[in-house]
């Protein structure tokens, strides 16, 4: 029997416009949106009605230790609308004293007054999607904000953190965007250090199907950094952040002491979580359930859940272990790695099968252990930093091949 999840992700799909690299379940509403009254407010209010209905539909509730408002652009909402959602959790689930309540914010989508409003609503950690401080790179990526908007937002967050009004904040960047060569990336990192964010997330650019970038790549009109330049950027990231006191605790995440994202560690550790909103994925008991990505279909899904009872993956309290390959993949993303023998034992294999499968995996990993990008300490395996972290896909591909072979 698994414990009832104590973390909740809330998807706010609205954006002013879709960025050129984005394939998330978002609803672009234009630049003039007013979520309380005015343009776009009807669309937002209708979505929030169904979102709240879904939140209330869960039968097995427990007090929450983390809540994460992601998107989309949650900062498009008015602070009052965020407060209503947090209050809904407080009244129907309970929220722990000291709970981490994070909200993604986007430069140019909120004012300083909004920031204080979100704090008064109950937000105590912010994740600021800067992506780059270079206005030319931002425009080339379809971002709405400019460098000055990003810097202004950083100063506001640094101030409220210094005053003790929030527990932490994160600055998010995307590595290897178009036009972002070694010199441009170095400037982005130096600018980031000038604001001393307690947490930094650095994501590699992925070219996803259906995006503007994918179409440009297919037509030969998008020039991206070469693999060699991308690796040089990664080495620079490691050098600058490590020398500035940041620890890399996950492939894409760095922090100062005591500032790891408690909510994100829930995903990587395989603990169950709730998730609400169109396109979001929950995994309360080990089995995953993704909601429809389209607004109309999501609303119909919520109505069906309300009328016909919840999907079995939301009410089944018997824990379903994740597939072994997924557990290894998630564990290797973390700095501390994974105890292979421990996760193997959870498969309930007999001794002969246990030893045979372990031997086959170690054969696949032998070359990575010899090169030092994968490190073994007893039964625990972890990626070296930065080489192993940057080349993790090679190790994971070999592991997935092993998993296919033994199945």
Give me the pLDDT at residue 2, please: 56
pLDDT in tens, 203-232: 999 999 999 999 999 999 998 888 888 889
Contact 172, 131 (CB under 8 A): yes
Give me the pLDDT at residue 34, please: 82
| Average pLDDT value for the chain | 92
- Residues contacting residue 370 through CB under 8 Å, at least 6 positions apart: none
Give me the pLDDT at residue 200, please: 98
Which residue has better confidence, 131 or 353?
Answer: 131
Overall size of the chain counted in residues = 407
**Cα 398 from chain centroid (whole Å):** 25
CATH 3.40.1390.10 assigned to 7-269: no
Give me the pLDDT at residue 107, please: 95
Give me the pLDDT at residue 369, please: 95
Longest dimension (CA), the chain: 68
Arithmetic mean of pLDDT, 188-192 = 97
- The distance in angstroms from the start CA to the end CA of the chain is 27
Contact 175, 236 (CB under 8 A): no
pLDDT in tens, 40-80: 899 999 999 999 999 999 988 999 999 999 999 999 999 99
Give me the pLDDT at residue 137, please: 96
309: confidence class by pLDDT, cuts 50, 70, 90: confident
* Residue spans per domain, the chain: 7-269, 324-406
Give me the pLDDT at residue 68, please: 98
At residue 250, φ and ψ (nearest 5 deg) are: -155, 160
Alpha-carbon distance of 78 to 35, in angstroms, equals 6
pLDDT in tens, 106-134: 998 999 999 999 999 999 999 999 999 99
- Among the ranges given (165-179, 243-257, 339-353), the one the predictor scored with the smallest mean pLDDT: 339-353
Alpha-carbon distance of 389 to 377, in angstroms, equals 17
Alpha-carbon distance of 192 to 154, in angstroms, equals 9
Give me the pLDDT at residue 127, please: 98
Alpha-carbon distance of 72 to 278, in angstroms, equals 11
What tokens appear for 180 in the block? Answer: 């972002």
Collapsed DSSP state (helix, strand, coil) of residue 278: coil
Give me the pLDDT at residue 1, please: 41
From residue 370, alpha-carbon distances to 47, 328, 356, 392 in Å are: 53, 20, 21, 15
User: What share of the chain in percent tops pLDDT 70?
Assistant: 98
Give me the pLDDT at residue 105, please: 97
Alpha-carbon distance of 252 to 167, in angstroms, equals 21
Alpha-carbon distance of 184 to 190, in angstroms, equals 10
Alpha-carbon distance of 29 to 17, in angstroms, equals 7
Which residue has better confidence, 160 or 285?
Answer: 160
Could you write out the DSSP letters of every residue in 125-161?
A: EEEEEEE-S-HHHHHHTT-S--HHHHHHHHHHHHHHH
Q: What is the pTM of this model?
A: 0.93
The H-or-E segment that residue 218 falls in is: helix 212-218
Can you name the CATH fold of 324-406? Arc Repressor Mutant, subunit A (1.10.10)
Arithmetic mean of pLDDT, 76-97 = 97
| Nearest alpha-carbon partner for 366 in 354, 357, 374, 355 | 374
Give me the pLDDT at residue 320, please: 64
Arithmetic mean of pLDDT, 371-394 = 92
Alpha-carbon distance of 53 to 302, in angstroms, equals 7
């Amino acid at each position: 029997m698994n414990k009832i999840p104590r973390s909740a992700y809330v998807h706010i799909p609205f954006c002013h416009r879709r960025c050129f690299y984005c394939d998330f379940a978002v609803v672009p509403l234009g630049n003039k949106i007013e979520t309380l009254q005015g343009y776009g407010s009807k669309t937002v209010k209708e979505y929030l009605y169904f979102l709240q209905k879904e939140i209330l539909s869960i039968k097995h509730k427990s007090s929450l230790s983390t809540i994460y408002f992601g998107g989309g652009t949650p900062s498009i909402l008015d602070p009052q609308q965020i407060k209503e959602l947090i209050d809904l959790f407080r009244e129907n689930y309970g929220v722990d004293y000291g709970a981490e309540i994070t909200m993604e914010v986007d430069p140019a989508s909120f004012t300083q007054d909004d920031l204080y409003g979100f704090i008064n609503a109950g937000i105590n950690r912010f994740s600021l999607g800067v992506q780059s401080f270079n206005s030319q790179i931002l425009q080339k990526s379809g971002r709405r904000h400019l460098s000055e908007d990003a810097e202004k937002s950083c100063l506001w967050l640094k101030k409220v953190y210094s005053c003790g009004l929030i527990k932490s904040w994160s600055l998010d960047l995307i590595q290897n965007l178009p036009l972002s060569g070694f010199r441009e990336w170095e400037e982005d990192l130096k600018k980031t250090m000038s604001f001393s964010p307690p947490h930094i997330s650095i994501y590699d650019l992925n070219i996803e199907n259906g995006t503007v970038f994918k179409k440009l790549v297919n037509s030969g009109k998008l020039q991206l950094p070469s693999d060699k330049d991308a690796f040089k950027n990664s080495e620079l990231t490691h050098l600058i952040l490590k020398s500035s006191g940041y620890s890399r605790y996950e492939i894409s995440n760095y922090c100062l002491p005591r500032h790891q994202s408690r909510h994100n560690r829930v995903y990587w550790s395989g603990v169950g979580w709730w998730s609400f909103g169109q396109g979001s994925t929950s995994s309360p008991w080990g089995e995953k359930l993704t909601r429809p990505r389209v607004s109309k279909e999501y609303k119909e899904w919520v109505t069906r859940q309300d009328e016909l009872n919840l999907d079995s993956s939301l009410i089944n309290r018997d824990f379903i272990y994740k597939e072994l390959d997924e557990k290894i993949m998630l564990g290797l993303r973390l700095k501390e790695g994974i105890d292979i023998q421990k996760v193997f034992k959870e498969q309930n294999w007999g001794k002969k099968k246990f030893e045979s499968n372990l031997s086959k995996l170690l054969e696949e990993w032998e070359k990575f252990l010899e090169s030092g990008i994968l490190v073994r300490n007893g039964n625990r395996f972890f990626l070296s930093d930065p080489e192993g972290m940057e080349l993790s896909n090679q190790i994971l591909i070999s592991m997935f091949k092993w998993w296919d072979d033994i199945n």
